Structure 1
Amino acid sequence: FRQVSLFAMDDDYAELCLVDQTNTDPGIPRTIPCNVPALRLGRVEHKEYADVGIKSSKFEPMVSRKHATIKKGGRGVWAIIDNKSTNGVMINGSRIPAEVATPLKDGDVITFGTEQSDLVYTFEVNRRRAGSGRQDKVDADMQKLKLLAAEGWFNKEELQSERQAILDKGAPAKWMAWDKTPRKTTDIGGMNGQMIRNQRMERAFKYLYNFKKKQWTRSVIMISMEDKPFDKGAMRACYRMTDWSLPEGENDYVAKNAKDSDEPQHTYFVDIEMQALCQYFAEEFNAKNPPKRVEFVDAGLIECLERPGNPVFAIEPFMKGKYIKHNNNWGFVSPEDRNTPQAFSHFSYTHSSGFYLVCDIQGVGDRYTDPQVHSKDQKGFGKGNMGLQGINRFFATHECNSVCIHLGIDTNRKKKVMDKGTKPPPGFSANRPGSASPPGRPPSALRPSTGGPYSVSEEEMLDFLLSRQQLDNIIQKFKKYDGGSGFLAKNDLVALCRDLEHKMTPEEVGRVQVNADGRISFKGFLRWWRGLP
């Protein structure tokens, strides 16, 4: 067998990760990407001295103005230089000489300053998982996809689908187009308001946002809205509303209007675009097959055309049930401390390479609304975007739970001691829908398959953690493409995975073992399917 290794990651990305993420000054950056040939570190960020500031308010004099520089050499070689700093640099507890390039390797512990310093980081090379959203990774995946297509892995339709899936994971800077966000409703074209006449209702423009196209649309609808709000928050009042353009049972909405009459319309558009980004993260989260799926309600805007001043309201479907706020934008965690909402916030951070963090998670069950996004550059997302400080506040109180572990993002040093929340069942895979063993059925009860190319021994059944029913289903789908030979043509793999309700990624294609004539054995498929070497 040969191993397809087109998607192996090169040693091209590193970052510094703060060791103590719980008791340290929240102003200290938790992660520092080493994404330039020479990264300068100093007391404060300055265009002439330091690319990143790592000053601690507890030990302010600990770091010099030009403290250290991390450089990347050829063939994945990294080094750090102490720029004659006052308190020095230590690697794994030993101070390094000044003005000498000292090699760094994955896992090294770097202390900026003396033993009393709280600026202690681990140096981590290529620990980001696939799908993190970095544009350089997207570009590399696109090239590798072309090579796979040339080898016959995908037909034309599958190639187009995979290409779009890669493009959808573009660099964080391309996810939001703040320069295109409308400033007011007149910036959006669409249907003419005279197309519908008011008959005991009122006309309104309805504005919806398409996240993937970065495009707003406008239509005309008829609505009915209660005169008095049923609830009031700190900034907005909430009204019950009916959208008569939708079928009965799907047209109950909540309309929210700013209590401050001078609030710019632009803030409404920002909020809707932010919620659309959060729904994108929800879709990516759900693609990892978590124990519980999440979603953000489809939000939009209306402009009431027959009221003085044409007031604007944010609208969203009315949610019945117990409304709970799970966390906020400054480190608060609800007493319930549910696993899924906290893990989702953590996932949004790792999936965007530390550029975004979705917080202020609230709603009914795992159907959320009114989120807040912190961004590393603190641009966009309204007044609630607290930037790195907000991100650090989240991790100061976040305890990685069983869902974080399931997703492979349990990077926070603080772990949940009493984890009574949602847990994946034994054998549940983050990449294989429905791959868990049936509840209450021990592995020893799984019967082996016998006979022919699909024979699976009892010992192998235990390794694969498959029930008899699951194995029979896979065999049935496999036979659809192999004609009973026990070997699958590589260009049928994508279709087989689709039949098994799994959307395969190019990263996963790169781990499939193929024999000399370009075919995949049934046993080889099972090992790949279950993530075994």
Structure 2
Amino acid sequence: MALGYSYETFETLNWNWSGPKYKATFESRPFNQSASRYAFKGILNGKGAWNEEACVAKVFKKKYVGHVYKWHPDLSVSKKAFKFAKQFNSDCIPILNNYGDKMYKEIKVVVPFITKVKYLEGQSEIRECVEKYVAIEPFLDGNYTNFNSNIGYEDANYDLMLAFSHWTWSISDHNFMVCDLHGIENKRKFVLTDPAVHSLEQKYGISDLGEAGMQIVLSNHSCNSLCRRLGLETEEYKQLFPPENCKSTVYRFELPEKIRALDGTKRFLTILPA
């Protein structure tokens, strides 16, 4: 892989704190970006199975550097979503595949490596991220798709993804919701990166919009045949945040004041902290 590498990282911290560790070298220019981060192509170097494998280094943009401290490097979001996906594959995919001719694929959530940027040169947009935590993930080869968001956007073409988000809320007794699902679909499975988790205690970072986030997602959710097949409960909510332009992750500090200050009597309508 002949790339012009300019940046490198310290050794990674593995999500289970064991096993081989890696360093990453990555290109000087991002190949893609989200609302908050740049994505750089790179290579992992280490003594494990991922040695010399293509990877992606995700670095926060200058605009968001002041909020990076809120992004916990303990990987709690990805680990929580990973566990939900594993249970969904075990409990729900067999049920869904017992109906009709369509076979539904399993869901895999990528748990990234975490490391710090060691050296950056020339790019003023990311220069402030030296010594900041970055996420290193395997490079996903395929068409990257936003299946839903953490603020109510849904792509109705992907009923399994939407049912999965709904299921996480139902199976957890309304304590959690995995959403903001995006990634690729290959021949065997859906592979997801950077999900969000809404939780009652709002302990999953700045994309965790809490109870109000769950209500916002549910208020824009249209139950599909898979939701009904899994017997998922439904609740009617007034649409609070029209999601037409909300494919990207929305953070707590970005929410309009009128949404952040909502205070009502329904169980899932709570004040969002600034």
TM-score category, normalised to shorter length:
0.5 to 0.7
Give, in angstroms, the shift of residue 405 of structure 1. Answer: 2.8
d(CA) in 1 for partners of 2:213, 2:25: 39
Q: Summarize the alignment of residues 67-106 of structure 1 with structure 2, pairs less than 5 Å apart.
A: none
> Which residue, out of 3, 6, 15, partners 1:209?
15
Give, in angstroms, the shift of residue 220 of structure 1. Answer: 4.9
- Change in CA separation of 1:249 and 1:217 when aligned onto 2, cut-off 3 Å: closer
> Which residue, out of 156, 163, 175, partners 1:355?
175
**Structure with larger RCO (C-alpha < 8 A, sep 6+):** 2
Contact 1:207 1:218 in 2 (8 A): no
Structure 1 residue 223 and structure 2 residue 24: aligned?
yes
Give, in angstroms, the shift of residue 383 of structure 1. Answer: 2.0
> Which residue, out of 106, 119, 134, partners 1:293?
106
Contact 2:25 2:44 in 1 (8 A): yes
Per the alignment, residue 86 of structure 2 pairs with 283
Structure 1 residue 327 and structure 2 residue 128: aligned?
no
Give, in angstroms, the shift of residue 373 of structure 1. Answer: 1.0
Per the alignment, residue 234 of structure 2 pairs with 412
Q: Summarize the alignment of residues 90-129 of structure 1 with structure 2, pairs less than 5 Å apart.
A: none
d(CA) in 2 for partners of 1:235, 1:339: 27
Per the alignment, residue 71 of structure 2 pairs with 267
Structure 1 residue 235 and structure 2 residue 36: aligned?
yes
Q: What is the TM-score with the length of structure 2 in the denominator?
A: 0.67
Q: Summarize the alignment of residues 139-288 of structure 1 with structure 2, pairs less than 5 Å apart.
A: 202=8, 204-210=10-16, 216=17, 220-245=21-46, 246-247=48-49, 251-260=53-62, 261-265=65-69, 267-269=71-73, 272-288=75-91
Output one character per residue of 1:141-181: Cα deviation in whole Å (capped at 9) or x when no partner. Answer: xxxxxxxxxxxxxxxxxxxxxxxxxxxxxxxxxxxxxxxxx
Give, in angstroms, the shift of residue 232 of structure 1. Answer: 2.1
Q: Summarize the alignment of residues 357-506 of structure 1 with structure 2, pairs less than 5 Å apart.
A: 357-365=177-185, 366-377=190-201, 379-409=202-232, 411-412=233-234
Give, in angstroms, the shift of residue 235 of structure 1. Answer: 1.1
- Change in CA separation of 1:220 and 1:387 when aligned onto 2, cut-off 3 Å: closer
d(CA) in 2 for partners of 1:239, 1:293: 27
Contact 1:235 1:258 in 2 (8 A): yes
Give, in angstroms, the shift of residue 369 of structure 1. Answer: 1.1
- Change in CA separation of 1:388 and 1:242 when aligned onto 2, cut-off 3 Å: same
Structure 1 stretch displaced more, 380-389 or 297-306: 297-306
Secondary structure of the corresponding residue to residue 345 of structure 1: helix
- Change in CA separation of 1:304 and 1:294 when aligned onto 2, cut-off 3 Å: same
- Change in CA separation of 1:205 and 1:374 when aligned onto 2, cut-off 3 Å: same
State the aligned residue count.
206
Unmatched segments (≥5 aa) in structure 1: 1-199, 211-215, 415-533
d(CA) in 2 for partners of 1:389, 1:278: 19
Per the alignment, residue 138 of structure 2 pairs with 317
Letter of the 1:285 counterpart:
F
Unmatched segments (≥5 aa) in structure 2: 1-5, 94-103, 121-126, 237-274
Give, in angstroms, the shift of residue 305 of structure 1. Answer: 3.7
Secondary structure of the corresponding residue to residue 14 of structure 2: strand
- Change in CA separation of 1:274 and 1:219 when aligned onto 2, cut-off 3 Å: same
Contact 1:331 1:394 in 2 (8 A): yes
Letter of the 2:29 counterpart:
K
Contact 2:27 2:41 in 1 (8 A): yes
Per the alignment, residue 303 of structure 1 pairs with 116
Letter of the 2:225 counterpart:
S
